[in-house]
Structure 1
Amino acid sequence: MRVEVQIVNALTDGGTGGNPAGVVIDADDLTASQKLHVAQRAALSETAFVSKSSVATIKLEFFTPTRQIPHCGHATIATFSLLRKLGRVSDGRSSKETIDGCRDIEIDGSTILMEQRSPTYRAIEAGSQLAAKVGQSIGVSTEQIYSTASPTVVNTGNSFLLIALPDERSVAAIRPDQRSIESISDDLDLIGYYVFSTTTKVPGRHAGARMFAPRFGIAEESATGTAAGPLACFLYERMDVGDTEIAIEQGHLMQPPSPSVIQVVLDVDSSRISRLMAGGAGVLMRSITVDI
């Protein structure tokens, strides 16, 4: 059997850069092991598989080259961008079924936004052994990782450790120890680290970030919608950013750079975030064929 994988760059910045994801449509007859094989051959951080759903517009399953994961932000944006291009979905509200429930999708032309849940927060205690390990895992002093805000695990459906640094230079200069990050991610049940500052390349945006997820085989990723959502919540509720529409840059500091921008819209009820929509645009780049 031959499986066609569409490569879509998601969360592009002005039509360029972004994060490539594989998308396989009409994947109903593929087994889990076959999907993993396709993801391994596609050799991207995530590949999405589209099947029929009786409870949502589509069923989506996500595989890294090493395992299945519950959600993937940029692969969701890539999938609905492709389906919009193919005429399989239209502007307005759609939805996706995943292995842990359904989420709303909003489509407006080239912009795709996906639902995330209200945030939960768990700060890392200053002076703890864990705080020291977190600093060491990115080559930064404990004092510096607390200089702007406390490192905090934030979950809007997936957990990320958010680490604020003073400026872009500090974020660019970190030295990630992938084994240490993976070990801490295992202990805290994280997708990975999201290291950021409020310095941005484009004026008017709110933060620039880098994402590391070695636990899932990702040394560094250029765009992460499921991490940008937690960061937007953290900026609003813990760092006094007053805007409810947040723009987050990622990928500028990678080597080679792959600039991306993630838009986040916060729903606020009585000064608390009740849910959020995160996403951006996707561009179809090419297709590959995998034999299984």
Structure 2
Amino acid sequence: MKIEVPIVSAFVDGEAGGNPAGVVLNAERFSSEQKQKIAAAVGLSETAFVSPSKSADIKLEFFTPTQQIAHCGHATIATFSFLKQNGLLVRDRSSKETIDGLRSVNMESDSAYMEQRAPRFETLGEDDLQATLQSLGLAADDLIEGAVPMLVNTGNSFIVIGIRDSKTIKGLKPDFDLIEKLSESLDLIGFYVFSLDGVGDGRDAGTRMFAPRYGILEESATGMAAGPLACYLREQLGMQKHEFTIEQGRWMATPSPSVINVRLTIGNDNGIENLFAGGRGSIKEVVHLDL
């Protein structure tokens, strides 16, 4: 069977960069085993599979090269951008069904914004904290003052780690075996490392993301991690904003600059009720596969 897989870069910064994802339409024709085989053949950090849904506008499933995951931010943005640009999306207030429930997705021109849950924060135990620092080659004085590394979940779990200066975050040499071990024991997608130093104009933080547990050593844009970071910046570092702009990918060995916009919904008690993370997708190429 021959299939075409559009490759769409999500969270592009201007007309360049972004994080590419495969988008497979009419995916109901494939078994889970075939979807995994397709994702491995595409070889990107995630590939999205689009099927009909009885409860949402579309059903979305996400596969890394090695396994299925519940959510993927950049593949969601890639999918909805592709559908909108090809006249396949009926309305701008849309929705997706995933293995973890329903989520709203809103379109603004050619940008897509996906819903995430209210944040859950969890303090790391001392052993896990020390192992986290060890895995990144960090000392306590490398951290932003007051920015204690924490597990943050808005649908997926990440450890959020704030680094004082951009030189240190650029020069990280992660121990991927240790990160994978910690990610398994804490049920994480991975580590989201950020700095407030050395970022572009109008950007609140610059980031890097490591997820070896899912076959991703580093990726250039992670919408499901940018959401937790925005919540952390507001509730843990006291940045009293409703909207954050986060850049990623610029500090990778092979840069692919990305920008993720996160909008927080703040309740009457000043707590975060939910959030939408979004950006724009751009079609880059079409891959032809023979299953």
Q: One fold, TM greater than 0.5? A: yes
Partner AA of 1:105 in structure 2: V
Matches of residues 171-182 of structure 1 in structure 2 within 5 Å?
171-182=169-180
State the shift of 1:264 in Å. Answer: 0.3
Partner AA of 1:150 in structure 2: V
Counterpart in 1 of 2:5? 5
Q: Cα deviation per residue 1:225-279 (whole Å; 9 max; x = unaligned)?
A: 0000000000011111121110000000001100000000000002100000001
What is the rounded CA distance, in whole Å, between the counterparts of 1:167 and 1:28 in structure 2?
47
Q: Any gaps of 5 or more consecutive residues in structure 1?
A: none
Q: Is the 8 A contact 2:266 2:273 kept in 1?
A: yes
Count of residues paired in the alignment? 290
Q: 1:280 aligns to what SS in structure 2? A: strand
Q: Cα deviation per residue 1:36-71 (whole Å; 9 max; x = unaligned)?
A: 110010000000000000100000000001001110
Q: Is the 8 A contact 1:153 1:161 kept in 2?
A: yes
Partner AA of 1:247 in structure 2: T
Q: 1:239 aligns to what SS in structure 2? A: coil
Counterpart in 1 of 2:33? 33
Stretches (4+) displaced over 2 A: 142-148
Q: Is the 8 A contact 1:148 1:165 kept in 2?
A: no
Counterpart in 2 of 1:228? 226
Q: Cα deviation per residue 1:110-131 (whole Å; 9 max; x = unaligned)?
A: 1100000000001224xx2222
State the shift of 1:199 in Å. Answer: 2.1
Counterpart in 1 of 2:133? 135
State the shift of 1:145 in Å. Answer: 3.6
What is the rounded CA distance, in whole Å, between the counterparts of 1:251 and 1:117 in structure 2?
25
What is the rounded CA distance, in whole Å, between the counterparts of 2:243 and 2:69 in structure 1?
28
- TM-score for both structures, normalised by structure 1: 0.97
Counterpart in 1 of 2:288? 289
Q: Relative to structure 2, which stretch is displaced further, 67-76 or 86-95?
A: 86-95
Q: Is the 8 A contact 1:148 1:164 kept in 2?
A: no
Matches of residues 172-211 of structure 1 in structure 2 within 5 Å?
172-211=170-209
- TM-score for both structures, normalised by structure 2: 0.97
State the shift of 1:92 in Å. Answer: 2.2
Q: Relative to structure 2, which stretch is displaced further, 139-148 or 70-79?
A: 139-148
Q: Cα deviation per residue 1:10-48 (whole Å; 9 max; x = unaligned)?
A: 000012100000000111111000001100100000000
What is the rounded CA distance, in whole Å, between the counterparts of 2:168 and 2:286 in structure 1?
38
Counterpart in 2 of 1:268? 266
What is the rounded CA distance, in whole Å, between the counterparts of 1:66 and 1:195 in structure 2?
23
Counterpart in 2 of 1:95? 95
Percent identity, please.
50
Q: Is the 8 A contact 1:27 1:50 kept in 2?
A: yes
Counterpart in 2 of 1:111? 111
Q: Is the 8 A contact 1:91 1:108 kept in 2?
A: no
What is the rounded CA distance, in whole Å, between the counterparts of 1:123 and 1:166 in structure 2?
20
State the shift of 1:200 in Å. Answer: 4.4
Q: Is the 8 A contact 1:163 1:194 kept in 2?
A: yes
Matches of residues 24-63 of structure 1 in structure 2 within 5 Å?
24-63=24-63
Counterpart in 2 of 1:78? 78
What is the rounded CA distance, in whole Å, between the counterparts of 1:290 and 1:180 in structure 2?
35
Q: What is the RMSD computed on CA atoms of the aligned residues?
A: 1.1
Counterpart in 1 of 2:68? 68
Q: 2:81 aligns to what SS in structure 1? A: helix
Partner AA of 2:167 in structure 1: R
